[in-house]
Amino acid sequence: MRILVTWTMKIGPPEMTETVPRTPAPGSLALVQKFINSTEMPDGVDELRTAQLAGSWLRDTIGIDLTVSEKDREQLISTRELLRDLLEAHTGENVDPAVSVRLESLLGRAPLRPVLTAEGATLTVNCRGIDSFLGMISTAIVEATLLGTWNRLKVCRSEACRWAYFDHSKNGRSCWCSMRGCGARDKARTYRARQRAGAATTA
């Protein structure tokens, strides 16, 4: 069965700068990546920090005008951060099962409708408002799962970063958004910790 996402995302220069630019996630999975990266942690600008800005972000990203209430904005933020938590599993971290349950509840508000043709089946969002965007997120995840790309969408293991990136490495074992940035800093911290532990042992 083929699952296609029936929307068009505008791809343009990002407003935030990654430590080292990576090639974006392929296909509709790029929407999930862009959604998670709508804030730069820990103290960067959150593009969804007000309902008005959230509406502008949605319009610029998916080309659809949606009226966003404060309750809608809170739903978007909750979904975004739960997705960020969920993706930690893709770098080997333990994720609380409650994360998936809460995500299912949020994304489940957006009904999806199958569209059948002689060539196969596609899914389309069957609702309006903010739930239509969440339906796009759901279909993108389903499509990526079937294509085998979902597990390569990750968040940087650095707690000070947690930037979403797509792992294009051959072995699929990347854990940091940038080996030269976050990866090098993490390895340096680990090395210093071992040195201190060794010094304490021999003292």
Tell me whether residue 107 is in a domain: yes
| Domain assignment of residue 49, given as a range | 29-202
- The number of residues making up the chain comes to 203
Please report whether residue 12 resides in a domain.
Answer: no
For the chain, give the mean pLDDT.
Answer: 83
- Global pTM value: 0.79
**Cα 155 from Cα 177, distance rounded (Å):** 7
Q: What is the pLDDT of residue 2?
A: 40
The alpha carbon dihedral of 103, 73, 59, 165 has a sign of: negative
Is the pLDDT confidence value at 15 over 60? no
pLDDT tens track for 144-157: 999 999 999 999 99
Determine, yes or no, domain membership for 21: no
Enumerate residues 6+ apart whose C-beta is below 8 A from 112: 123, 124, 125, 126, 135, 138, 139
d(CA 203, CA 199): 6
Q: Is residue 6 part of a domain?
A: no
Is residue 35 assigned to a domain? yes
pLDDT at position 11 over 80: no
pLDDT band at 160 (very low <50, low <70, confident <90, very high): confident
Q: Is residue 1 part of a domain?
A: no
Q: How many domains does the chain have?
A: 1
What is the predicted pLDDT for the residue at 83? 98
Output the domain CATH number for residue 167. Answer: 1.10.3300
Q: What is the pLDDT of residues 25-35, one digit of tens each?
A: 999 999 999 99
Residue 150 forms part of a structural domain: yes
- 3-state class of 72 per DSSP? helix
Domain assignment of residue 69, yes or no: yes
pLDDT tens readout for residues 41-75: 877 899 999 999 999 999 999 998 999 999 999 99
Report the alpha-carbon angle 167-8-39, nearest 5.
50
Torsion of CA 81, 85, 88, 90, to 10 degrees: -80
Q: What is the pLDDT of residue 97?
A: 96
Token match 């893709």: residue? 90
Distance CA 28, CA 5 (A): 7
What's residue 1's pLDDT?
43
How close are the terminal C-alpha atoms of the chain, in Å? 64
Looking at this protein, which amino acid is placed at residue 113?
A: R
Which residue, chain included where needed, has tokens 């739930």? Answer: 131
Output the CA–CA distances (angstroms, integers) from residue 147 to 29, 151, 189, in the order listed: 10, 10, 37
Surface-to-core class of residue 35, CB atoms within 10 Å of its CB (0-12 exposed, 13-18 middle, 19+ buried)? buried
